[in-house]
Structure formats: structure tokens, C-alpha cells
Structure 1
Amino acid sequence: MTASSIVLMSDRRVAAIPVHDRGEALVDARAHGLRVDDRKQDTAGAWAHVRQDVLTRLQQAQALLPGGVKLLFIEGYRPPSLQRRYFEEYSAELVRAHPDWRAAELREAASRFVSPPEIAPHSAGAAVDVTLVDDQGRELDMGTRVNASPEESDGACYTDAPDLSDRARTNRATLSGALTTAGFINYGTEWWHWSFGDRYWALQTQQPAALYGPVELP
């Protein structure tokens, strides 16, 4: 998949997908055998939550990994207010760098890295940012850090970016193989971002509706 062929979150086709929410609860991944990183932790523990079926599929993906390799859960649920703040902050960063860009150009560019708030998979509890670690908890070489922007990484954050080392490419393939088999889809601008049941997933898998929409943590 080339950069030009990636469907971005800002694409109108994503927002056009209806949501028939299953009503599944948000559950805490820390209580279900997954290794959860604390770099995105918040006082409410929101970051460690995902919908129940998303958690089940993460557990399936974990079981599919080779010996000595584990998933590291970085961030799951993101409250809509936080998603809006992230989108606005990154958009402002792009405005400073590209003052001549039109609003539509800014929205499209911003959506490479932060989803527009109204359709954000994280705010539906349907997305998770993950990487791989070894038995000692050391992160494997994935070519960039998790959450490296396109600007910071010179595009290496794209899942199928060229010029990756053989090791990084192999590790990305290992991650992709397990998560894809468990039913997740990747957002091609972020190797670490995977989702199930959201609008983007529905579009990419040709489903008539999303299973999960924006939700608030109880």
C-alpha cells in the first residue's frame, strides 16, 4: 500500500458509515492478562480500556505471537474531549508550519496522525495503539517510536514505509499478522494503530455499519 492509496480518517466515506452500537462495556485491559504501558495513563484509567470484543481479540492476537514476544498495550480508549484537544493541537502545529494551507488541506493532513474527533476510533473504545516487547519487557525495533508523527519520522511511521531495516520490517509483519488474524485493521499512516468495530474498520471491511460509536467512560 502506497501513501497515496491510504484512505485517511478525514475521507467522507468514513463519516458516512452509520453506527449501530452494540452497547458493549468498556473493560480494563490491565485486569485481563495484557501488558499495559503507563505512558498514556490518566487519573480515571481511561487509557487502559477498550470494548469487550476488542479486548477478546487482543487476547487472541497475543496467543498468536511467537514465543518470547508479547503485545504492549499503549493506549485504548480516549475520551472525546481529549481526542478533540489532540486534533486541535496537531492542527495548530500544521498551521504554523504551513500558513498557506486551506482548511480542507489542514484537516486531511491532520488526519494522518490524529483522527477527526467525530469519527475517532479511540473515542469509540474500538482502537488500540500497540507494539511488541520481549520477555524482559524491552520494546522491539519497529522502525520508529510509537506515536512518531509523519514529520518527526519523515514518513517512517507509515506501516509500509520504504527504507526500513529488515528487523523493523519483520517485527511489523509479526505484529500485523497476529492482529489481522484476530480481526483488526490497521491505519496505514500509523503502524501501531489497530481497530475493530469502528467506522474506519467498517469501511475497510465493507461492513454496512460500525459496531461502536463514541462513548463516555462511566
Structure 2
Amino acid sequence: MKRRSEHTVWLAVLVLVGLVSVPTPAVADEKAPPGFVALRDVDPTIRQEIRYAGLHNFVGRPVRGYQEPTCLLTRQAALALREAQRMLLRQGYTLKVYDCFRPQRAVNDFVAWAKRVRDDRMKAEFYPEVDKSRLFEDGYIAEKSGHSRGSTVDLTVVRLPVRPQRPYVPGERLRPCFAPVGERFPDNSVDMGTGFDCFDTRAHTDDPRVSATARENRQRLRAAMESAGFTNYPLEWWHYTLRDEPFPDTYFDFPVTRRSVR
């Protein structure tokens, strides 16, 4: 008992002097804290296709916590995204977001799904060459996500005028996310070399195997996002985090619905 008490005291001292950090647990609530907004209220011109609120995602069903297909972000991230959008609009393009704030309950849902070995219904599209048992080891799924801090966004670029996009039909034949345009699912975005949430090294932002057109499109997105203050996650061309995010150590757990920010 004495040894454990001494250990606790020394740990507290190290935390106080900044030599050891303690992760902040997820803050569970049904309302967002002040500082979160709906992206539509900041920039309604940005397209939204919130994949985890529907069926076309790597788990093949709505993810826990996504009550509406809407993008919620910290106000700082939403305003910065508006700046990136203005740059792209001048070039004849628009942003389209796939995911924004992600509650911790959704991350927990991903973790539980990853442990259900037999649930592989979407493998042929999203992780055709990766065994599901390796999704944690290879860094595709983690128990904490920057999305839960509210300033990370997954997104792509769409050429103007925006072409209609057909909906995903449950049970349709799945194509690999890295198949050429015209063979993989027909997203109305420009060619990025892979689809969104492609668990494959070809989704790395600077992967040399993608076409020159895809590299150019990835660079167009990166230039706009970096000019607005975002940093890319190099293993995913679609993933960006605001450099000066207001909640760098806090993970939130309110549901994705406009009611959360009212």
C-alpha cells in the first residue's frame, strides 16, 4: 500500500511539472459546448455527404452517434474551412465534406466493429487487401480520434457545376476503393486516386502510384487547406486538422445533430 501511495504522489508531481501528460477523457453530453457550430450556418456553399450517418461506409450501416447527416465543427475550424472554400470557388471547384466532428461513442462503435471478425460486409470496397485483424495495427482505426476534438475534417474537391451523384444501393456489387475512376463507386468528386476511407497505402497523400491527375487534385486540396490553416494527415489524402485547434486535448461525445449546437 505504501509503495502504491508513493507512486501516486510521484506521478502527480510529474504531471504538475509537465513531464507526464494525462489524456483528457471524453466529455459525454447531449449538447455541444460553446464554440461549436453547424457548418451550414457558416458556409452553406460547402457540399456535405456525411457517410457515417448512412449505409455507404466501411461498417455498412449508420454509426452510433450520427443522428443527422450534418457537419458540426468548432467555430474556428468552420471559419477556416470557409476560407479554403473561397479559394477553391475562384478556381471553379467546391469542397465536399464526408465527416466532421465525430463523437467518442462513434469511435467506440468503430472499435467494437473491428473486433467482430465476421462482420466483413464492406471489405470488397474499403479494405480489399487488408485483413480486418490488422486495422488497429496498421493505424486505420484507433481508440481516440482527432475528429472528436471538433477541428478535424474529412473532405474532397468537386468541380463546378456539381454533377448529380447516384445513391449507394445496399447489396450492390462492391468495387475496390483504389480501382480506376469509372470502376469504383461513382463519387462526383474529382479523381483523387482512391475513394474516401480507402484502407490502403494508395490513399497516402503523396503515394507515387496514383495518376498525375490524382496527384494534381490532391495538391489542389492540400494547397487550399494549408492556406486556411489546416494540416494534412499524410496517410489519408482527405484528412485535415486545424493547426491551432481550440480543444487540442479534449474529446467530446455529444451526438451529431443540429440540436447539439442550438
TM-score (norm 1): 0.70
Q: Is the 8 A contact 2:225 2:231 kept in 1?
A: yes
Tell me how far apart the structure 2 counterparts of residues 98 and 146 of structure 1 sit (CA, whole Å).
Answer: 18
Q: Please give the alpha-carbon distance, in whole angstroms, between the structure 2 residues aligned to 1:89 and 1:98.
A: 10
Show the counterpart of 2:248.
211
Once superposed, what is the RMSD of the aligned Cα atoms?
Answer: 3.1
Aligned to 1:159: 205
Query: Residue 18 of structure 1: CA displacement?
Result: 6.6
Q: Distance in 1 between matches of 2:224 and 2:77?
A: 14
Larger radius of gyration: 2
Q: Provide the C-alpha distance between the structure 2 equivalents of 1:17 and 1:57, rounded to a whole number of angstroms.
A: 29
Distance 1:186 1:17 in 2: 25
Q: 2 CA distance for matches of 1:41 and 1:183?
A: 27
Match of residue 177 from structure 1: 223
Would the alpha carbon gap of residues 128 and 78 (structure 1) be closer, same or farther in structure 2, given more than 3 Å must change? same
Letter in 2 for 1:51: T
Would you say the 8 A contact 2:149–2:248 is kept in 1? no
Equivalent residue for 1:115? 142
Are 2:38 and 1:28 equivalent residues in the alignment?
A: yes
For residues 142 and 98 of structure 1, the distance between their equivalents in structure 2, rounded to whole angstroms, comes to 24
Distance 1:144 1:134 in 2: 17
Aligned to 2:149: 124
1:63 matches 2:90: no
Whether the aligned pair in 1 keeps the contact of 2:87 and 2:224 (CA below 8 Å) is yes
User: Mind listing any 5+ residue stretches in structure 1 that lack a counterpart?
Assistant: 1-14, 203-208
Specify the SS of the correspondent of 1:115. coil
Q: How many residues were matched structurally?
A: 179
Report the alpha carbon displacement of residue 27 of structure 1 after superposing the two structures with TM.
1.1
CA distance 1:71–1:107, change in 2 (3 Å): same
Question: What do residues 74-96 of structure 1 show as CA deviations (whole Å, max 9, x unaligned)?
Answer: 110111011122134235559x9
Match of 1:82 in 2: 106
In structure 2, do the counterparts of structure 1 residues 107 and 183 end up closer, same or farther at CA, with 3 Å as the change threshold? same
Q: 1:98 to 1:130 in 2, by over 3 A?
A: closer
Distance, in Å, in 1 between the alignment partners of 2:195 and 2:250 is 28
The answer to whether the 8 Å contact 1:28/1:48 transfers is yes
2:233 is aligned with 1:187: yes
Identity of aligned residues (%): 25
Q: TM-score, normalised by structure 2?
A: 0.59
CA-CA distance at 1:73 after TM superposition: 1.1
Give the equivalent residue in structure 1 for 2:73: 50
Is the helix fraction higher in 1 or 2?
Answer: 1
CA distance in 1 between partners of 2:209 and 2:106 (Å): 34
1:143 paired with 2:167, answer no
Show structure 2 runs of 5+ residues with no match.
1-19, 25-32, 55-65, 121-130, 163-187, 255-259
Which SS does the other structure have where 1:160 is aligned? coil
Task: For residue 135 of structure 1, report the CA deviation from its aligned partner.
Answer: 1.2
